[in-house]
Amino acid sequence: MYKLMKLPYPYDALEPDISARTVNIHYNKHHKKYNDNLNKLIEVDIYPIEQIPQNIDKFSMDKRGDILYNAGGVLNHDLYWKSMSKIGTAPSGKLLKKINNTYGSYDNFKRIFIKKAKMLTGSGYTFLVANNSNLTIMNLPNQETPLSYGLIPLFTIDLWEHAYYLDYQNDRDKYIENFWNKADLTYASQIYENIS
């Protein structure tokens, strides 16, 4: 059985930008539901979850859409929680160097990421992904994962209404801006260090 990732901080760690109530419901209801659904769909976990997208054709045809959706839901939420922390942290090492080369500066990278996130329509995510050693900022709908496109997800913001509605109601732009008070690129830096 796939186990739900442990939240890397207490529910109130992202206050005041994301409330403890939002984190609690988002993690214990939404994130957990994708994991529960995945376990119901897959009796034997023959693949580590991050290998499901590239092996989706090994599953029975009638379950593929549901398995991919729920595996993506788990993976995207795992990454979302790892993309934030109480104090927030800028990128380091090779990732910082690559961000500076690609976007001019970390501040400019943030501006481009925010602009991209504000453009997403419907439910989905904005990701920073590694395409080999190159960086791309991309939007994907619903629970699609960059892994389905052969890309390595490094960092993400969840743009589903459940991520912000209790705190911001319809003001998604404000959530996207305040997210950056908690954005943490430590995990992204670690992943990138090993693939570049």
CB of 194 to Mn ion, least distance (A): 27
CA pair distance 156, 129, nearest whole angstrom: 9
| Residue among 78, 158, 167, 184 that touches Mn ion (CB under 5 A) | 158
For residue 135, the surrounding DSSP H or E stretch is strand 134-141
Closest CB to Mn ion among 106 and 165? 165
Closest CB to Mn ion among 113 and 164? 164
Q: Does 160 bind Mn ion (CB under 5 A)?
A: yes
The candidate with the shortest Cα–Cα distance to 110, out of 155, 79, 75, is 155
Q: Given the rule CB under 5 A, which of 37-45, 91-99, 135-143, 152-160 is the region that contacts Mn ion?
A: 152-160
Closest CB to Mn ion among 22 and 85? 22
Q: Given the rule CB under 5 A, which of 97-105, 107-115, 121-129, 156-164 is the region that contacts Mn ion?
A: 156-164
Phi, psi dihedral angles at 122 (to 5 degrees) = 75, -160
CA pair distance 164, 111, nearest whole angstrom: 20
CA pair distance 100, 4, nearest whole angstrom: 35
The candidate with the shortest Cα–Cα distance to 80, out of 22, 41, 150, 119, is 22
Rounded to a whole number of angstroms, the distance between the first and last alpha carbons of the chain is 32
Closest CB to Mn ion among 11 and 160? 160
Q: Which residue is nearest to Mn ion (CB)?
A: 158
Residue 6-45 contact track with Mn ion, rule CB under 5 A, x = bound: ------------------------x---------------
Interacting residue ranges for Mn ion, rule: CB under 5 A: 30, 158, 160
